[in-house]
Amino acid sequence: MKFRNSEKLYKKGLKHLVGAVNSPVRAFTSVGGNPLFIKKAKGSKITDVDGNTYVDFVLSYGPMILGHRHKKVQKAIKKALKKGYTFGASTKNEIKLAKIVCDAFPGMDKVRFVSSGTEAVLSAIRLARAFTGKDKIVKFSGCYHGHSDALLVAAGSGLATLSLPGSKGVPEGAVKNTLIANYNDLESVKAHFEKHDDIAGVIIEPIAGNMGVVLPHDNFLKELKEYLVSKGALLIADEVMTGFRSKFGGAQELLDIEADITCLGKVIGGGFPVGAYGARNEIMEMVSPLGGMYQAGTLSGNPIAMASGIATLTELRKQNPYEQFNETASILEVLLLEAAKKHNVDLVVNRFGSMINPFFTDSEVTNFEEAQKSDTKKFAVFFWEMIRNGIFLPPSQFEAWFLSSALSEKDIAKTANAIDKAMEAVSKM
């Protein structure tokens, strides 16, 4: 397998792009080598500029849940393109997507569309503060909520991959109202409430995906919600990754919990920049123009993105691939564990729905600290051997692999073969 064209573009890209990438997770910092440049993708597969085709488990970090260029989505986008790209005024499709989204999440009467997950979350935090009149926010170590100042502490994969504790350029004042708790540890949340009486809410990835896949313990979220109700604080579910992915109604539907504010992104735009935050009327009525919390966006509710989102979610609801995702993920889990056993490699696999993560470690992973015990050097060897065998994975131990409904049995067979070879390569390190 040759990567000559990717190498050339990488070197060229370094001149005017930072590290030749527009998001640091795309750099191959922790796995070594140069990032691949992509030419095109279709269905379950992605092709680089050297003509190598891979089964795609990155799926643009989640959005492409139907696979790339699904016919119905492409048709909807083409139709929208003919009418104009952006108007700075409302369109019918915004109402249509809003209804699909609000119907999917029981705690959501109204939604506001934005252009990224980062924007959705930072707006949700502002909203929680506006509604409660309190300033402090609790977040969990290892959860990522976008790159807004207040949330760039203990923020999981991107930073963990680069071994950064937080980000430079974030003023102390911006994080002084951010309190850190441990995932799956309600006592660590309670400790903050015992010390502070000005906590607006707790933000969480209900199924964590940004420290690798980490599952909430049974009842952790239910108990957290109950506790927050007793304290008059809000539960903010960051479902940017899990929304429409764990289940149509996200982790909340799957785990039967109801957040006060929900953040969405990724799948909701079907590959176009869409984020959203929503809540019950009482909370959303704080948002301008109905209320005094300001939040705006020139391209928010963009017509092309709305068309893509509507087509993606409509097709997704019709396909209802969640059972199939579970089965595929369980097959992958068995393949990974059996290959690890065969080649004497320590491995733990966490999975939930269409998100799965092998950790190169010998002990269970239930929080960020445990995830960080993984052997990233082993992952790097595994990663490159998977690439050489035609499997495209996120270039980090701490990123989830995503499944699309376009995956075929042939793709899984190819993946099985690659896993065996990659595990063998790890055993020979």
Rounded least distance, CB 183 to ligand PLP, Å? 13
When CB distances to ligand PLP are compared, the closest residue is 117
Q: Which of residues 64, 73, 97, 121 is near ligand PLP by CB under 6 A?
A: 121
- Is the Cβ of residue 43 or residue 212 nearer to ligand PLP in the bound state? 212
Q: Which two tokens stand for residue 174?
A: 């911006």
Q: Which of residues 6, 91, 116, 123 is near ligand PLP by CB under 6 A?
A: 116
Distance CA 405, CA 384 (A): 25
By C-alpha distance, which of 28, 59, 348, 350 is closest to 161? Answer: 28
- Is the Cβ of residue 205 or residue 375 nearer to ligand PLP in the bound state? 205
Q: Does 202 bind ligand PLP (CB under 6 A)?
A: no
Q: Which of residues 101, 241, 261, 284 is near ligand PLP by CB under 6 A?
A: 241
Q: Say whether 375 is catalytic.
A: no
- Is the Cβ of residue 167 or residue 427 nearer to ligand PLP in the bound state? 167
Residues near 397 by beta carbon (within 8 Å), at least 6 away in sequence: 30, 161, 212, 359, 360, 374, 376, 379
* Angle (deg, nearest 10), helices 92-104 and 303-319: 40
- Is the Cβ of residue 210 or residue 396 nearer to ligand PLP in the bound state? 210
Q: Which stretch binds ligand PLP (CB under 6 A): 80-88, 185-193, 205-213, 333-341?
A: 205-213
- Is the Cβ of residue 52 or residue 397 nearer to ligand PLP in the bound state? 397
Q: Which residues are bridge partners to 203 per DSSP?
A: 139, 236
Q: Which of 10, 54, 61, 144 is catalytic?
A: 144
Q: Which of 238, 260, 375, 420 is catalytic?
A: 238
- Is the Cβ of residue 26 or residue 68 nearer to ligand PLP in the bound state? 26
Q: Say whether 48 is catalytic.
A: no
Q: Which stretch binds ligand PLP (CB under 6 A): 237-245, 279-287, 335-343, 417-425?
A: 237-245
Q: Which of 134, 139, 225, 266 is catalytic?
A: 266
Rounded least distance, CB 170 to ligand PLP, Å? 16
Size of the site for ligand PLP (CB under 6 A): 15
- Is the Cβ of residue 392 or residue 398 nearer to ligand PLP in the bound state? 398
Rounded least distance, CB 198 to ligand PLP, Å? 24
- Is the Cβ of residue 118 or residue 404 nearer to ligand PLP in the bound state? 118
Distance CA 306, CA 426 (A): 44
Q: Does 240 bind ligand PLP (CB under 6 A)?
A: yes
Q: Does 158 bind ligand PLP (CB under 6 A)?
A: no
Q: Does 238 bind ligand PLP (CB under 6 A)?
A: yes
Q: Does 394 bind ligand PLP (CB under 6 A)?
A: no
Q: Does 355 bind ligand PLP (CB under 6 A)?
A: no
Distance CA 341, CA 350 (A): 16
> Are the beta carbons of 48 and 39 closer than 8 angstroms?
yes
Rounded least distance, CB 402 to ligand PLP, Å? 11
Q: Mask: binding to ligand PLP, 130-149, rule CB under 6 A, as x and -? A: --------------xxx---
Which strands make up the sheet holding 275-279, listed edge to edge?
Answer: 110-114, 275-279, 261-264, 234-238, 199-204, 136-140, 178-181
Residue ranges binding ligand PLP (CB under 6 A): 116-118, 121, 144-146, 205, 209-210, 238, 240-241, 265, 275
- Catalytically active residues are 144, 238, 266
